[in-house]
């Protein structure tokens, strides 16, 4: 066989298999739809039968209760009338007028057409008729009252058939009544219209094929309702079977039965009326009631046919799509192979890049970390081993906070809480940590909050660098600076003493000698006198300069009388030297709580600040305020001069190596203080604050408006 023949044979076999698959599909489709139709038919039939019987049962129960209430109301009216004392007296005395007056209210009832009063023998004692009663009433049969007169029943309510008639004409309601001695006196009876029940049945919902019957206790019809006039005789035998002797009055019973005299099935619902023992029946034609089910079944058949057509059409479309997709699949397989090769190349590049970056992270001396929203570490680089002594596996899963020194956890929690809420926080936070050996290590933490696409916080990422050596170096520099300033102050103190004691004594001796020479009166006094006078003035000026220099080097008043007196003296001295007004406001200081370093630093701050104010501010009004509140010692210098830009002034001072402001700030920082600078065109405020309790790190801060 040639290659072309093999292809044709293969194509024919494929088509044959396809036809076989389509045939099997259609067979299964037909069987499935048929089974579905039968199942739906049975479900709908059962549900509709149960719903029809339930609806009729509810209506027949409600109707029986309504009839019971209606007839009980009439019997109760007769009962209360017959028990009235005046009625009994009028009956015993045979007072016709009084009896007529007593019975007149009864005939006013539009349902009652006449009222009869009989004695124990069944003879008529009194008779009243309503205006709507017929001209002549049929003769009353005494046998109707036989059960009441003989004491077998205490009341009677039911239809009666008059002589010469075949069907009930009226409904008789009768009750006996006794005298004062308890003996039977007679019977009070009232005739009720039958058309009352025709109006009653009109209140029932009108439905095609439904009939309503009301029978007395003997099965005789009292009333019926048939809107279409298609109702035949009621199925009394079936009703009696449904409500046997043990059936509760007022409770409905229902069943599917055959219509009397025909084989036509009907739904029968029946209930016995309490008190009067009547029977209420409702019949619904089976075929009429099941008509909605048949219509629904037709719609279901049409729907299933439509579905079958749609499935067949869909099968054709799927087959066409299958052919197209098969061709596309072949092309996709070829493209997939090309993509697999390309993915392999890119995967190799990605692996190499991943390894390169992983090696970079692992070899960095800084700790790179990542946490979840609760602060638990999800990744940490191997630098933790060299910095803190812990393996990364020991730290992953635990909160980073566990390794923060206890006194620094407040700062840690505050910063990370602000980051989690989206607030700005210091980019770098230096905190103490505890390594495996229990030693403190300073780490500089740079972290940022991570949020997902919905702006929900998911954790932190950051880098931690070991700055323990830098911190130790900085502390050593601070200690050396402190020692340098202390040595400088000691040297100033020594120089001040030397200048004051030695140079002062020499200059004083020189001045005294010159005065002595001037007083002795030399022969050439006229020539030498003015020269000696100049030398005396020069020596006085030198003494004043040395005294001022000694004061600036180290004021003796600071050591002898304390900071309070030294500050007041400084204000007075500078005010005289520069001819400005300096207003001091100095509160009482607890000098015994102030160390020599604190006194010296605060005095130098006031000295430097006042000197700058009187030289550069251009203000002639300067105030100095020195206060002590608790452990806080503060000095504030205010002027009303031209002001300056704080940041520019600090930068220029560094560039020109003029360390006035920086020197003040540095001195304050060395003893745990801080410098605040606020400057504007309206003036400048310098404030130096020292916490004599210690333990705080402060930095210089300022503002310019």
Q: Can you give the pLDDT at residue 627? A: 93
User: What are the tens digits of pLDDT across the range 193-228?
Assistant: 877 877 777 777 767 778 888 887 777 777 777 655
Cβ 60 vs Cβ 273: under 8 Å:
no
Mean pLDDT of 411-418: 80
Segment 544-547 long-range contacts (CB within 8 Å, at least 24 positions apart): 546/499, 546/500, 546/503, 546/504, 546/507, 547/500, 547/504
CA distance 58 to 280: 12
CA distance 403 to 436: 9
What percent of the chain clears pLDDT 70, i.e. is strictly above it?
74
pLDDT band at 620 (very low <50, low <70, confident <90, very high): confident
pLDDT band at 393 (very low <50, low <70, confident <90, very high): confident
Which is nearest to 63 in space by CA: 217, 200, 253? Answer: 200
CA distance 353 to 217: 102
Q: Can you give the pLDDT at residue 86? A: 87
Query: Collapsing DSSP states into helix, strand and coil, what is residue 281?
Result: strand
Contacting residues for 101 by C-beta, under 8 A, at least 6 apart: none
Q: Can you give the pLDDT at residue 699? A: 39
CA distance 423 to 415: 9
Q: Which residue has the higher pLDDT, 170 or 633?
A: 633
Question: Looking at 10-14, 211-215, 479-483, which range is the least confident one?
Answer: 10-14
pLDDT band at 394 (very low <50, low <70, confident <90, very high): confident
pLDDT band at 508 (very low <50, low <70, confident <90, very high): low
Q: Can you give the pLDDT at residue 236? A: 66
Q: Can you give the pLDDT at residue 520? A: 62
Q: Can you give the pLDDT at residue 424? A: 59
User: What are the tens digits of pLDDT across the range 230-244?
Assistant: 565 677 666 666 666
pLDDT of 324 over the 70 cut? yes
CB atoms within 10 A of CB 686: 25
User: What are the tens digits of pLDDT across the range 21-42?
Assistant: 777 777 787 788 778 778 887 8
What percent of the chain clears pLDDT 90, i.e. is strictly above it?
5
DSSP string, 339-397: HHHHHHHHHHHHHHHHHHHHHHHHH-SSEEEEE-TTSBEEEE-THHHHHTS--HHHHTT
Which is nearest to 376 in space by CA: 408, 405, 416, 434? Answer: 416
In the sheet with 429-434, reading across from the earlier edge strand, the strands are 377-380, 367-371, 457-466, 440-451, 429-434
**Mean pLDDT across the chain:** 77
CA distance 123 to 142: 8
User: What are the tens digits of pLDDT across the range 172-185?
Assistant: 888 898 888 888 88
Q: Can you give the pLDDT at residue 696? A: 41
The neighbouring-strand residues paired with 629 are: 632
Mean pLDDT of 260-264: 68
Q: Can you give the pLDDT at residue 559? A: 76
pLDDT of 529 over the 70 cut? no
Contacting residues for 501 by C-beta, under 8 A, at least 6 apart: none
Which is nearest to 552 in space by CA: 593, 596, 610, 507? Answer: 610
pLDDT of 278 over the 90 cut? no
Cβ 591 vs Cβ 565: under 8 Å:
no
């Amino acid at each position: 066989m040639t290659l072309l023949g093999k292809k044709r044979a293969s194509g024919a076999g494929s088509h044959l298999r396809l036809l076989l698959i389509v045939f099997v599909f259609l067979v299964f489709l037909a069987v499935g739809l048929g089974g579905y139709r039968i199942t739906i038919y049975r479900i709908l039939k059962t549900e509709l039968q149960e719903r029809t019987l339930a609806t009729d049962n509810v209506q027949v129960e409600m109707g029986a209760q309504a009839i019971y209430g209606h007839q009980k109301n009439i019997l109760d009216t007769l009962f209360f009338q017959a028990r009235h004392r005046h009625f009994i007296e009028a009956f015993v005395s045979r007072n016709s007028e009084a009896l007529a007056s007593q019975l007149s209210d009864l005939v006013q009832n539009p349902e009652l057409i006449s009222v009869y009063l009989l004695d124990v023998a069944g003879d008529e004692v009194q008779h009243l008729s309503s205006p709507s009663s017929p001209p002549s009433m049929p003769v009353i049969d005494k046998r109707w009252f036989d059960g009441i007169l003989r004491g077998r029943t205490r009341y009677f309510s039911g239809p009666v058939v008059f002589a010469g008639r075949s069907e009930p004409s009226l409904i008789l309601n009768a009750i006996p009544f006794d005298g004062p001695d308890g003996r039977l006196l007679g019977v009070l009876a009232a005739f009720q219209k039958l058309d009352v029940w025709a109006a009653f049945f009109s209140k029932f919902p009108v439905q095609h094929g439904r009939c309503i019957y009301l029978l007395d206790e003997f099965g005789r019809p009292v009333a019926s309702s048939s809107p279409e006039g298609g109702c035949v005789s009621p199925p009394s035998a079936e009703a009696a079977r449904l409500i046997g002797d043990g059936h509760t009055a007022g409770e409905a019973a229902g069943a599917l039965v055959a219509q009397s005299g025909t084989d036509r099935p009907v739904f029968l619902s029946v209930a016995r009326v309490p008190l009067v023992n009547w029977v209420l029946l409702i019949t619904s034609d089976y075929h009429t009631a099941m008509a909605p089910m048949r219509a629904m079944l037709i719609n279901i058949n049409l729907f299933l046919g439509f579905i079958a057509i749609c499935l067949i059409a869909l099968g054709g479309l799927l087959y066409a799509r299958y052919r197209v997709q098969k061709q596309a699949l072949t092309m996709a397989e070829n493209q997939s192979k090309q993509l697999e090769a390309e993915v392999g190349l890119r995967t190799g590049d990605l692996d190499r890049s991943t390894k390169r970056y992983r090696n970079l992270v692992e070899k960095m001396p800084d700790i790179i970390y990542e946490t979840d929203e609760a602060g638990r570490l999800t990744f940490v680089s191997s630098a933790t081993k060299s910095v803190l002594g812990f393996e990364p596996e020991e730290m992953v899963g635990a909160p980073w906070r566990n390794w923060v020194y206890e006194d620094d956890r407040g700062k840690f929690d505050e910063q990370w809480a602000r980051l989690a809420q989206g607030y700005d926080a210091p980019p770098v936070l230096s905190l103490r940590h505890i390594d495996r050996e229990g030693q403190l290590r300073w780490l500089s933490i740079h972290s940022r909050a991570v949020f997902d696409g919905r702006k929900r916080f998911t954790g932190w990422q950051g880098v931690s660098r070991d700055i323990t050596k830098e911190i130790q170096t900085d502390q050593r520099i601070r200690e050396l600076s402190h020692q340098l300033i202390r040595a400088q102050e000691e040297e100033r103190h020594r120089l001040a003493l030397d200048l004051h004691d030695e140079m002062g004594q020499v200059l004083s001796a020189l001045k005294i000698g010159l005065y002595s020479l001037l007083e002795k009166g030399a022969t050439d006094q006229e020539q030498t006198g003015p020269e000696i006078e100049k030398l005396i003035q020069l020596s006085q000026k030198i003494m004043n300069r040395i005294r001022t220099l000694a004061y600036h080097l180290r004021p003796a008043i600071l050591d002898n009388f304390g900071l309070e007196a030294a500050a007041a003296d400084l204000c007075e001295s500078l005010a005289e030297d520069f001819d400005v007004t300096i207003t001091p406001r100095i509160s009482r200081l607890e000098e015994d709580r102030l160390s020599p370093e604190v006194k010296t630093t605060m005095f130098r701050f006031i000295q430097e600040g006042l000197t700058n104010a009187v030289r550069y501010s251009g203000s002639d009004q300067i105030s100095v305020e020195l206060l002590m509140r608790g452990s806080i010692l503060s000095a504030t210098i205010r002027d009303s001069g031209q002001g300056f830009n704080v940041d520019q002034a600090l930068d220029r001072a560094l560039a020109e190596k003029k360390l006035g402001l920086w020197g003040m700030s540095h001195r304050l920082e060395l003893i745990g203080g801080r410098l605040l600078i606020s400057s504007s065109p309206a003036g400048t405020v310098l404030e130096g604050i020292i916490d004599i309790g210690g333990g705080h790190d402060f930095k210089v801060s300022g503002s310019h408006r």
